[in-house]
Copies of this chain bind each other. A is one copy, B any other.
């Protein structure tokens, strides 16, 4: 069984088939958050600590950290944000940047064993990011797209995944340390896109055995009742083999625990009940 092991300052998170689903909390990211973007531009990281606590309380066990707003010097700010997150909560971080120098600077200060978000099959991207991942002994998220763009079919995405794993191996990074992302597109734009994502996940699980991540919310873009669609989508993704989804635990944390309960990953339903109480407490507070 292929296990991806991540570590915080003194905690360990294991991702693997048959293990409880790992929530990677997505909130520490200025995309679409105006106030947070402005704070980051002013060097104010106070919201980062609050977001870290709120996500940890609602079930995230890995925290994505992204400070990529316009006008922000990520090389300076990303390591500060990573340090602050790990001073606040004892969790592994997913270091999220398109800037290899910022990734390197953040990996240098990250405690434990981090995840890097992300590479894809583009040659330039692989050559820029994989050496950094290897140097720091990190794990890495890999999107199933390449220099030709986003493949239309599941078989083609599998081909990209295989090429990425080969490239990773050349840098000494094993398949257990590559979290593949089967790519989630909007079903509103193309009603077959959910099926292609799920089919890609099935193929990756069967043929490569790798652990997987995916975004929970892109698929429902532009449709009504997005919470319902995201809940359903998480269930389908997890059953298809995506065992470390990136989502907002304040919104989707209980749904992930519900899926694990129904799939038999939650002995006595203890994790579900705990998550239910955390949600009750959060909405009361």
Contacts and interface: CB of A to CB of B under 8 A. Distances in A.
A76 interface: no
A214 to B, nearest CB: 12
A13 interface: no
A187 interface: yes
A234 B255 CA distance: 13
A273 interface: yes
Contact of A236 (B225, B263, B266): B263
A262 B225 contact: no
Interface residues of A, number: 38
A225 B280 CA distance: 11
How many copies the complex holds: the figure is 2
A236 B264 CA distance: 12
A192 B261 contact: no
A234 B228 CA distance: 12
Given A195-B263, A258-B229, A261-B194, A223 B187 contact: no
Contacts of A261: 187, 191, 194, 223, 229
